[in-house]
Amino acid sequence: MRIMGLDFGSKTVGVAVSDPLLITAQGIEIIRRKEENKLRRTLARIEELIVEYEVSEIVLGLPKNMNDTIGPRAQITLDFQEKLQRRTGLPVRLWDERLTTVAAEQAMMEAGIRREHRKEHVDKIAAVLILQGYLDYRAGKETE
């Protein structure tokens, strides 16, 4: 059993999966699409990855506004959550992703990745941060 983490953007989806023990998150790929509304191939690729990595649960980053409200981007994400649940039959949990892209950029700067190469990786790293946050939360709840 593994958990998949997704950073859903307007033209990309960063994908991460947990290890089988649900301790760490690893980035696996960025799914790209030409148009925001074209989700068929994106959903098909996510389904392939679910089978390949034996995923039993999905964590989807929810881009809330800084004042904790749901804006247009978050509403699109909620619609995607519904499509993903319907298509995969898996539970899709929402995880507050505020500042994950900023944290991903910071991590790449600290790792010495040049600015022009950061765009290639930011969504995958954001997915790792979303999933790792959820895994850490779960682990904390289990020890209570």
**Kind of pairing between the strands at 12-18 and 2-8:** antiparallel
pLDDT of residue 110: 77
Mean pLDDT along residues 16-41: 92
Mean pLDDT score of the chain, rounded to an integer?
A: 88
pLDDT for residue 106 is more than 90:
no
Query: 21: domain range?
Result: 2-143
CATH code, domain carrying 68:
3.30.420.140
The model's pTM is 0.86
Please, is 21 exposed, middle or buried when counting C-beta atoms within 10 Å of its C-beta (0-12, 13-18, 19+)? exposed
Q: How many domains would you assign to the chain?
A: 1
